[in-house]
Amino acid sequence: MNDRQIVLLFIKAPMQGRVKSRLADTIGEEAALDLYRRFILDTIDMLERTGCEFRIFCHPPEAVADVSHWLRAGSPVMPQEGDDLGARMENAFRRVFSEGWSRAVLLGSDIPDLPESVIPEAFTLIMKHKVVLGPAADGGYYLIGFDREAFLPAPFNGMSWSTPDVLIRTRDVLQAAGLRVPLLREWRDVDSFDDLRALAARSGHSPFRSSRTMTYLAQNRSLLARGRSH
């Protein structure tokens, strides 16, 4: 594997009451779970269309067998290993780089409508600059990628996750290490009811309109009206 690249898809095991808590506050835990399952499946569909190798990393580790059975995935489901999100991301990169993969990007599962073109764009930027970030609208990032020779753990250590300066702080750390850090297009992940409504609005005339997520929303139109009474 002298010149191979791989996508690391980070997911949470889809269990009621354990995923999309902010969204569940408005639409309920059952609907939030239904949607999150579709987010995962739509993201896997997107990755399969790219033709890129990918591997699914699941949290918590003890749910790997159940998630593998649910997905019946050709791509292996691996446990996320580490005490916090930063450690789990660092360890996933270390794992694939130790296996000989030359470039890797790590992607979250809260951006089901991310265009498939973003993945090859990310790898192209890594080949040129050794690193890449995909900025999220909330100040975090939805994607981070490295060339094996440029990988460093510093961006994953001591970071206050889910805060509005994660992207800036991560970029600062990478630049302090002498890396020029290119950014992909900004994308909005789906954590809250407002995010869900934004997803529905921007997807009405896009290829994503035929996705599992949008089909579910079309079949459950009352979900998008619930927030008006909160």
Task: Judge whether residue 107 has pLDDT over 60.
Answer: yes
CA distance linking residue 197 with residue 63, whole number of Å: 30
Tokens of residue 212, six digits: 């599992």
Ranges of beta strands (E only) in the chain are 5-12, 53-59, 77-79, 103-107, 131-135, 141-147
Lowest-pLDDT range, 20-34, 194-208, 213-227?
213-227
pTM of the full structure: 0.95
Task: Judge whether residue 2 has pLDDT over 70.
Answer: no
Is residue 204, in this structure, part of any structural domain at all? Answer: yes
Is residue 126, in this structure, part of any structural domain at all? Answer: yes
CATH code, domain with 166: 3.90.550.10
Task: Judge whether residue 230 has pLDDT over 60.
Answer: no
- In this predicted structure, what is the pLDDT of residue 229? 46
Using alpha carbons, list the distances in angstroms from residue 23 to 63, 110, 153.
22, 12, 31
The DSSP symbol for 27 reads H
Q: Which residues pair with 150 in a beta bridge?
A: none
Query: How many domains does the chain fold into?
Result: 1
Is residue 194, in this structure, part of any structural domain at all? Answer: yes
Is residue 230, in this structure, part of any structural domain at all? Answer: no
- In this predicted structure, what is the pLDDT of residue 72? 80
Helices (H), 61-204: 64-71, 85-98, 118-129, 166-176, 193-203
Is residue 34, in this structure, part of any structural domain at all? Answer: yes
- In this predicted structure, what is the pLDDT of residue 63? 96
For the CA atoms of the chain, what is the radius of gyration? 17
Domain that holds residue 75: 5-225
For residue 3, name the pLDDT band (cuts at 50, 70, 90).
confident
CA torsion angle 212 183 191 196 (round to 10): -50
Is residue 113, in this structure, part of any structural domain at all? Answer: yes
Task: Judge whether residue 73 has pLDDT over 90.
Answer: no
- In this predicted structure, what is the pLDDT of residue 162? 84
Is residue 84, in this structure, part of any structural domain at all? Answer: yes
